[in-house]
Amino acid sequence: MSNLSNIDFENLSREDLISILECEKEDILKIMSLANSKREHNYVTYSKNVFIPLTKICRNDCGYCAFKQNPDDPDAIILKDKEEVLEILKEAEKYGCKEALFTMGEDADTEEAVKVKLDKLGFKTMADYIYDICKSTAEETSLLPHTNAGNFSYEDMKMLKEYNISMGMMLESSSERLTRTIAHEKSPGKNPKLRLETIKNAGKLNIAYTTGILIGIGETKEEIADSLLAIKELCDKYGHIQEVIIQNFTVSPGIEMENYEEPSLLDMLRTVAAAQLLFDEGVSVQVPPNLNYETSQIFLLCGTDDWGGVSPLSEDYVNPSSPWPTLEKLEKLTNDAGYQLKERLAIYEKYINEKYIKNPELLEKTKQTQKKINK
């Protein structure tokens, strides 16, 4: 049985977090109210983006994944040509999108089909290709690149920083045990040591970063607490984590975990409140609205202040069965909860400086774009 009376909410310990994550119904409203009391402002932000999967080939094979394709699939995205990417970006400009979200399967260039396509295009690695795509995006369109593509080496991240205003990767879980379960047993890239090293390297390189956890894939409350604390440790040390996503496992047709139970709404509320109470001011806690369409407003009452990336043009390729709400619907949900909807960039405003964006042309472009949405 949880006991909230002994919790130091100003300095949460692992045991405190576990108590929050296990709290019973009479305490849930209390922790929601406490979490919401940390809210810094009366608005909820979102980033208007276009979501482009550069490849859907992936070395990992997660039990919950609805994104990965096999190279022999006739509809598989092996590697998009730059001309196709730029065409999509030009269309996104018409919708007022500011963020070019590039995602792809992790370590896709370990697959022969991707290697062949990269060689044909004149690139050795996916990192080289991504760099070229982001450079063209920054120089030939009005959009600002954000890459979310799993683990990268320190040197690759250093290279990609030149043309990315921010980057991201979900930790998902710091649990080694989950690497021996259906969720991650066929996914070497989900080794938590590798993922924490990537997040750490982003901190060393002063890259504004998005990460988070995935709940409902077989983790324990103790493992949720450990995952949040692992992110908090890196956040406190480097100051580069701008937002933490609390994402719930959702069932998609055909996935290996199709018959698994999704996390309950109360489990989500406990986890969101725990994250909001744990992280310092200035770190946004986000719950994807398309995965919680009917219940998204209640997370605002737990202190969440960001909807994440929302696209008026492209689908959520990672969660294809969960379409994004329209911006009109998102604004209505936000206003009905007593808050204002506010657009942001893929990099939060406090990070728009020479430390986090060293490329002077990209920095100036980012500043000018920020001025436009501040009007």
Predicted confidence (pLDDT) per residue in 280-300, tens digit: 888 999 999 888 878 999 999
What's the CA gap between 373 and 347, in Å, rounded?
A: 13
Confidence of residue 1 (pLDDT cuts 50, 70, 90): very low
> Averaged over 304-315, what is the pLDDT?
83
- Binding region for [4Fe-4S] cluster: 58, 62, 65
Check pLDDT > 80 for residue 321.
Answer: no
What's the CA gap between 220 and 207, in Å, rounded?
A: 31
Q: What is the tens place of the pLDDT at every residue in 212-232?
A: 999 999 999 999 999 999 999
Look up tokens 């039990």; give the residue: 63
Q: Copy the structure tokens of residue 138.
A: 């920054």
Nearest to 168 by CA among 191, 150, 155, 194: 150
Check pLDDT > 80 for residue 63.
Answer: yes
Check pLDDT > 70 for residue 318.
Answer: no
What's the CA gap between 239 and 226, in Å, rounded?
A: 19
Contact predicate 62/186, CB 8 Å: yes
Check pLDDT > 70 for residue 314.
Answer: no
Give the three-state DSSP class for 40.
coil
Check pLDDT > 60 for residue 113.
Answer: yes
Total number of domains constituting the chain? 1
- Using only C-alpha atoms, the chain has a radius of gyration, in whole angstroms, of 20
Domain that holds residue 363: 10-374
Strand partners, 306: 45, 286
Nearest to 276 by CA among 72, 2, 12: 12
Distance of CA 303 to the CA centre of its chain: 18
Check pLDDT > 80 for residue 317.
Answer: no
Q: How far is CA 314 from CA 80, 97, 197, 254, in A?
A: 15, 11, 31, 22
Give the three-state DSSP class for 31.
helix
Nearest to 190 by CA among 309, 19, 65: 65
Q: Quick one: what percent of the chain has pLDDT higher than 90? A: 83
Which residues, 6 or more positions from 180, have their beta carbon under 8 angstroms from its beta carbon? none
Instruction: For residue 269, give the amino acid letter.
Output: L
- Binding region: 58, 62, 65
CATH number of the domain to which 236 belongs: 3.20.20.70
Contact predicate 287/304, CB 8 Å: yes
Nearest to 99 by CA among 273, 334, 324, 313: 313
346 class by beta-carbon count within 10 Å (0-12 exposed, 13-18 middle, 19+ buried): buried
Mean of per-residue pLDDT scores for the chain: 93
Half-sphere exposure of residue 76, counting CA atoms within 13 Å on the CB side? 19
Check pLDDT > 60 for residue 316.
Answer: no
What's the CA gap between 359 and 362, in Å, rounded?
A: 5
* Residue at 3 is within a domain: no
